[in-house]
Amino acid sequence: MSDKDKATDRRDFLQAGFLGTAGVGLAVASTTSVTMAESDPASQTPELTNEVDVLVVGGGTAGHVAAIQAGRAGASTLLVERNSQLGGTTTTGGVSFPGLFDAWGRQVIAGIGWELVKESVEMDEGTLPDFAKVPERHWHNQVYTNQFLYALLAEEKCIEAGVEIAYYEFPQAARKTEDGWEVDCVGFGTRRKVRCKQIVDCTGGAEVVGMLGFPRLREDERQPGSFLFMMGKEHQPGRNQIHRLYVHGADSTNSRTATRANLTGRKSILEKLRKEKKRLMHLQPETGFRESYRIEGETIITVNDYTSGRHFEDAISNAFYPVDLHTKTGVKPKPLKPGTVPTIPLRALIPKGSTNIIVAGRCVSSDRLANSGLRVQASCMGMGQAAGTAAALAAKSGTTPLSVPLPEIHEVLREHGQIIPGQA
C-alpha cells in the first residue's frame, strides 16, 4: 500500500468513526481552523537576544496591566510569563472575581484593569455593579468575570500595545549593566538574553527581587492557598464563583513547593468526588497562592497606614478592601471605617536600595495585615499600571523609577484613565 493510500484509508476511517458516533445520537464538536502566519526561521533557533526598554516578569493580575501601560506609554516592552496565558490568579488560578474598584459610592480604581474587566463583562453579557450604591457586604461590588474571555482580551491588548509576549519562560540569572540589566531567561527550547533598562517584577512572590538578593519579607505560616473546582453542577464562567478547597501550607517559593501544593489539592478533590459521588464539572490547572514573599521596600505600608487611609505624599494608586486574613479557622474580613480609602506609595513598589527595578502586585512592601487587604485584584491592577508608567518614564529619561517626578507619573496615569489618589 502506498503512503497516499494509507493516508486516504485513515481519513475514511476517521470520517466513518465520526459519522458512526453521530449516528448513535452523540453530539459531535465542530471543527474550525486557522492558519498561522509564516514563522520567522529565527524562531527555530534555541538562542536569541532582545533589547528592550522594559522587561515585565510575570503576566498575572498586575503584570499584564504593567506591560500594556508601558507599551502604551511608548516603551518597547517584553513580557515574560512562565505559564501559557495572561491573568495569573485572576485566570489560571480561577479567582475571576476582581475587587474592589469602588469605595463609599464612587469609583476609586479605574484605568487599564477596569477597561479589561468592563470589556469582558460587556462582551459576556454579564452584569456590572452600580458603584454609586454602597453595598451591604463588600463583595457585592466585586465583578463576576469570565476568566477565559479575560485572558483573551488581556492578550489582545498587549499585542495592540506592541508588547512582545514570551510564554513558558522565566528568568534564571540577572546582571547589572551600565544602563540597566542583562537577564537570562529560559523556556523549553529557548535561551533568551534580555538587555533592558528597567525590570517590573510582577511574579507575585517578588522572585526577581529575591534572585537579585534584595531583602524580602515572609511569615513562617502563610495563609492557605486554594484549589478551585466545581462538582455536581455546571460551572458558568462570569456568573458565579467556583468551589474552593483550602490548601493549608501551600507555598509558591519554587517549582517543588508549588508541585506539592498542586498534588495535595488534586488528591483531596479526587477523594471528595469519590466520597460525595458527584461529577467533576470544572477544575483549575493550579493552586491559587494567597501569600508568599513581599518586598522590603523604600517604605513599608503598615496596617495602621492602611486602616487609617493614610494619604502618602507619593501615592500612585488607591486601594480598597477589608483586612482579610485567611487562617485555619476561615476568614473574618474586617471592613474599613466609612470614608476610608487607603493609598499606595511609589516607595512601597521599590525594593530597598535598588535602582532600575520596581514591583507590582501582592508582593507590595507591607506588613502582613495591610497586605491581606492590599493583595486584591483591583489594587494589584492599579499598582501594575503605576509600575508600568514609572518604568516607561524612567527608561525614557535614563533614570530610575523612584527619581521620576511624581507629577509626570500622575499625568501619564490620568491620560490612561487611572484615578489619582485624592483627586477623584
Ligand X SMILES: Cc1cc2nc3c(=O)[nH]c(=O)nc-3n(C[C@H](O)[C@H](O)[C@H](O)COP(=O)(O)OP(=O)(O)OC[C@H]3O[C@@H](n4cnc5c(N)ncnc54)[C@H](O)[C@@H]3O)c2cc1C
Interface residue with ligand X among 76, 120, 141, 142 (CB under 6 A) is: 142
**By the 8 A CB rule, do 242 and 89 touch?**
no
Using CB under 6 A, which of the segments 52-60, 146-154, 334-342, 413-421 binds ligand X? 52-60
Least CB distance to ligand X at residue 170 (A): 3
Interface residue with ligand X among 72, 138, 192, 362 (CB under 6 A) is: 362
- The separation between CA 181 and the C-alpha centre of its own chain, rounded to angstroms, equals 23
Does 354 bind ligand X (CB under 6 A)? Our answer is no
Least CB distance to ligand X at residue 398 (A): 26
Interface residue with ligand X among 52, 54, 62, 79 (CB under 6 A) is: 62
Interface residue with ligand X among 71, 99, 345, 421 (CB under 6 A) is: 99
Looking from the CA of 28 toward its CB, the CA atoms found within 13 Å total 15
Using CB under 6 A, which of the segments 89-97, 129-137, 146-154, 266-274 binds ligand X? 89-97
Q: Pull the grid cell for residue 357.
A: 527595578
Does 204 bind ligand X (CB under 6 A)? Our answer is yes
Sheet strands (E) in 58-188: 77-81, 102-103, 106-107, 164-167, 169-177, 180-187
Does 57 bind ligand X (CB under 6 A)? Our answer is yes
Does 387 bind ligand X (CB under 6 A)? Our answer is no
Residues 62 and 318: their CA atoms lie apart, in Å, by: 14
- Please say which residue, 226 or 356, places its beta carbon nearer to ligand X: 226
Q: Interface mask (CB under 6 A) for ligand X, residues 288-317, using x and -?
A: xxx---------------------------
Amino acid at 72: R
Does 89 bind ligand X (CB under 6 A)? Our answer is yes
**By the 8 A CB rule, do 381 and 87 touch?**
no
Does 380 bind ligand X (CB under 6 A)? Our answer is yes
- Please say which residue, 58 or 237, places its beta carbon nearer to ligand X: 58
Interface residue with ligand X among 56, 174, 258, 376 (CB under 6 A) is: 376
Grid coordinates 477596569 are at which residue? 114
DSSP string, 344-408: EEGGGGSBTT-SSEEE-STTSSB-HHHHHHHTSHHHHHHHHHHHHHHHHHHHHHTS-GGGS-HHH
Does 52 bind ligand X (CB under 6 A)? Our answer is no
Q: Pull the grid cell for residue 242.
A: 467556583
Using CB under 6 A, which of the segments 92-100, 103-111, 304-312, 341-349 binds ligand X? 92-100
Q: Pull the grid cell for residue 258.
A: 508549588
* Closest residue to bound ligand X by CB: 60
The set of residues, in sequence order, having a beta carbon less than 8 Å from that of 256 and lying 6+ positions away, is none
Residues 221 and 327: their CA atoms lie apart, in Å, by: 9
Q: Interface residues with ligand X (CB under 6 A)?
A: 57-63, 80-83, 88-90, 93, 95, 97-99, 142, 170, 202-204, 207, 225-226, 244, 288-290, 361-362, 375-377, 380
